[in-house]
Amino acid sequence: MLPKKSIRPRLGWMLVIYSMIWLGLLGRLGFIQIVRGAELERMSLNQWAKEIPAEPKRGIIYDRLGRELAITTEADTVVAIPAQIVDPDATAAQLAAVLSMSKETVLERITRERSLVYVARAVTPAEAKGVRDLGLPGISFKVENRRYYPHINLASQLLGFVGVDGHGLAGVEYTLEGKLAGLPAQVVLPVDEHGDVLPEAKPSYSPPVDGLNVYLTIDEVIQHIVERELEVVMQRHAPTSVLAVAIDPRNGQILAMAGLPSFDPNSFNIYPDSLWRNAVISSSFEPGSTFKIVTAAAALNENVASETDQYTCLGYIEVAGRRLHCHVLRGHGTLSFTEAIYKS
């Protein structure tokens, strides 16, 4: 048996140690609840919440007079809540038949370990009705925005297109994505382990910010005329491609910019990607005879030539010791200034 004097110091040290442990636990508890309380609450809600993003309305693309070139419409998207699906195999088979998809693809999507998955985006009204008629547990719909180009191929390479996620992938849609897209809304609903919304849950909501509208210098009528004339060239001469730009000489504004062959941006995925590119601004080529208008205008402006001047074309000209031939080897003979431009 130890003497009482030797026990008291040990009890004192044990009391000090236990006190420090309890103070440490209380301090830790206070730090978690007071300092990190809000942060941890958000983290827990993220684990037990279903986020339902709501898309903003994408901005409209207008021509110079306010005529619509690209607008946004609504379309149904088929979504699945995997935790609520009773028979995944049978559900996949029925959805695949209505949506013209493979059963394997649908099954892989509806069995993912997520609270919400996309099955098919922007389906047709007939497909949406077919899915609704099935009445499958765990299968629902979400309304999404779909980009629509009312004039089909008109200015398609200039306007570009957007993907199924609503982001611009080419043309003006891509270049001005930051202005057109807007900011999505967010709805967060607390749910249980089965994905069901808690009965007394208070959802959080942040409203969407719609995208900005964009006005181009393009004139719809002039664009249509330019593309119509390019179609005539394609039919008459069967070139690989043709390009044209119409510019307002008073201010340099682009009134039309076209290239053929083109594509329908409403169904861009069925066309080869070589047609998506706007060759007018992305391809390099020599201007050739098209530049003669610039030099002729400069000559007239500087009064070194007049419309009545006469020129003789022998079929060639000597420049810096080299003989450059005319496309008519025998020459054109005597031509006026206007005829020289027309026939060169």
Residue 47: what pLDDT?
A: 57
CB distance 264 to 153 below 8 Å? yes
Q: Which of 93-107, 183-197, 232-246 has the lowest mean pLDDT?
A: 183-197
**CA distances in angstroms from 146 to 82, 162, 221, listed in the order given:** 25, 9, 25
Residue 121: what pLDDT?
A: 86
Instruction: Let me know if residue 190 belongs to a domain.
Output: no
pLDDT band at 290 (very low <50, low <70, confident <90, very high): confident
Instruction: Let me know if residue 329 belongs to a domain.
Output: yes
**Is residue 289 annotated as a catalytic residue, yes or no?**
yes
Beta bridge partners of 144: 75
Instruction: Let me know if residue 319 belongs to a domain.
Output: yes
Instruction: Let me know if residue 222 belongs to a domain.
Output: no
Instruction: Let me know if residue 115 belongs to a domain.
Output: no
* 3-class secondary structure per residue, the chain: CCCHHHHHHHHHHHHHHHHHHHHHHHHHHHHHHHHCHHHHHHHHHHHCEEEEEECCCCCCEECCCCCEEEEEEEEEEEEECHHHCCCHHHHHHHHHHHHCCCHHHHHHHHCCCCCCEEEEEEECHHHHHHHHHHCCCCEEEEEEEEEECCCCCCCHHHHCEECCCCCEEEHHHHHCHHHHCCECEEEEEEECCCCCECCCCCCEEECCECCCCEECCCCHHHHHHHHHHHHHHHHHHCCCCEEEEEECCCCCCEEEEEEECCCCHHHHHHCCHHHCCCHHHHCCCCCHHHHHHHHHHHHHHCCCCCCCCEEEECCEEEECCEEEECCCCCCCEEEEHHHHHHHC
Question: 191 vs 295, which has greater pLDDT?
Answer: 295
Instruction: Let me know if residue 269 belongs to a domain.
Output: no
Identify the active-site residue in 241, 289, 306, 336. 289
pLDDT band at 52 (very low <50, low <70, confident <90, very high): low
Between CA 149 and CA 201 the distance in angstroms is: 41
Residue 110: what pLDDT?
A: 92
Residue 195: what pLDDT?
A: 60
Question: 24 vs 268, which has greater pLDDT?
Answer: 268
Instruction: Could you list the beta-strand ranges (E) of the chain.
Output: 49-54, 61-62, 68-80, 117-123, 139-148, 161-162, 168-170, 185-190, 204-206, 214-215, 242-247, 254-260, 310-313, 316-319, 322-325, 333-336
pLDDT band at 22 (very low <50, low <70, confident <90, very high): confident
Per-residue pLDDT reduced to its tens digit, 127-168: 999 999 999 999 998 888 889 999 999 999 999 999 988 899
CB distance 169 to 190 below 8 Å? no
User: Is the overall model pTM greater than 0.95, yes or no?
Assistant: no
Tally of domains within the chain: 1
Residue 183: what pLDDT?
A: 86
Residue 177: what pLDDT?
A: 96
Instruction: Let me know if residue 317 belongs to a domain.
Output: yes
Instruction: Let me know if residue 331 belongs to a domain.
Output: yes
C-alpha 100 chain-centroid distance:
25
- Show the domain range for 322: 286-344
